[in-house]
Structure formats: C-alpha cells, structure tokens
C-alpha cells in the first residue's frame, strides 16, 4: 500500500464525513460545518490511498507562537500502518520554529500516542470546552 500525503485541500464533503464516521466522531453528524471548518483551517494534511481519504490532521495557528494540532484521525481500515504517526511528524516538521506546538487529546487513552512523538503532559493543565450543538 502506498499512502500519499498532501496539504492540498482536495477532499470532498462526503470523503470527510466518511472518514469521521469511520472513527465514530460526533463531528460527522455536521458534514457541512465539518467541511467548512477544514477548508478554512490553517493547515490540513491528508493521507490518501489512491482516491480514498485514509486520514488527516488539522492545525490551527497564529503564524508565530502557537500551533494547535487538532483532529488527528485515521480510518480504522488503515490502523497499524504508521499513518497517524507520520501525520504528526509532518506537523512537527512544518511547525518546528513555533514556540509551542500543542495537542489536546480528547480521550486520555490517546496520550501515549502523542508522548511517543515527543509531547508531554502539561504540569497543571486541564482541557475545557463549551459545546454548542444548536
């Protein structure tokens, strides 16, 4: 299997929704908003197996100090092939000059994956959010 990686936002709304559904994320229930969010994100690196969207990572940044890696996901059919790790390494390379590269795993079980790629738990940090589903 040959996976191609690109920053070109060539994915369709249907491809994005299918990827997010494959991992069971709630975002898949809002396909138009999800697609628009990705199209307007600072960086989206996607992984492709031919014309199939196998995974992606999204990064929001302020152009200098902080880059926030969000939505690292890989279709379960492609798990175990190093795609997620490669996406993270591509982000680390692109943002190597930023003072902070941050990630907030939404499930604590995912922390070891990020630690394996050089991230560490913040001393006294806690994730917080407001959800507006309406």
pLDDT in tens, 3-14: 999 999 999 999
Q: How many CB atoms lie within 10 A of CB 95?
A: 19
Cα–Cα distances in angstroms (integers) from residue 114 to residues 27, 73, 104, in the given order: 21, 13, 10
Average of per-residue pLDDT values in the chain: 93
Determine phi and psi for 111, rounding to 5 degrees: -55, -45
Question: Is it the case that residue 27 has pLDDT exceeding 90?
Answer: yes
- In CATH terms, the superfamily for domain 3-117 is Gcn5-related N-acetyltransferase (GNAT) (3.40.630.30)
Q: Give domain limits for the chain.
A: 3-117
Task: Quote the pLDDT of residue 110.
Answer: 86
pTM: 0.91
H or E stretch including 19? helix 13-22
Question: Is it the case that residue 26 has pLDDT exceeding 90?
Answer: yes
Question: Is it the case that residue 126 has pLDDT exceeding 80?
Answer: no
Question: Is it the case that residue 51 has pLDDT exceeding 90?
Answer: yes
Question: Is it the case that residue 102 has pLDDT exceeding 90?
Answer: yes
Task: Quote the pLDDT of residue 2.
Answer: 94
Question: Is it the case that residue 17 has pLDDT exceeding 90?
Answer: yes
């Amino acid at each position: 299997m040959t996976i191609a990686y690109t920053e070109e936002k060539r994915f369709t709304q249907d491809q994005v929704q299918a990827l997010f559904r494959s991992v069971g994320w709630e975002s898949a229930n809002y396909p138009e908003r999800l697609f628009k969010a990705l199209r307007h994100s600072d960086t989206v690196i996607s992984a492709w197996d031919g014309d199939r969207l196998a995974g992606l990572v999204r990064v929001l940044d302020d152009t200098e100090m902080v880059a926030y890696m969000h939505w690292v996901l890989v279709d379960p059919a492609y798990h175990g092939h190093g795609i997620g790790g490669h996406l993270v390494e591509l982000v680390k390379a692109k943002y190597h000059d930023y003072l902070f590269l941050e990630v907030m795993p939404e499930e604590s079980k995912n922390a070891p994956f990020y630690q394996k790629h050089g991230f560490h738990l913040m001393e006294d940090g806690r994730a917080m959010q407001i959800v507006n589903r309406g």
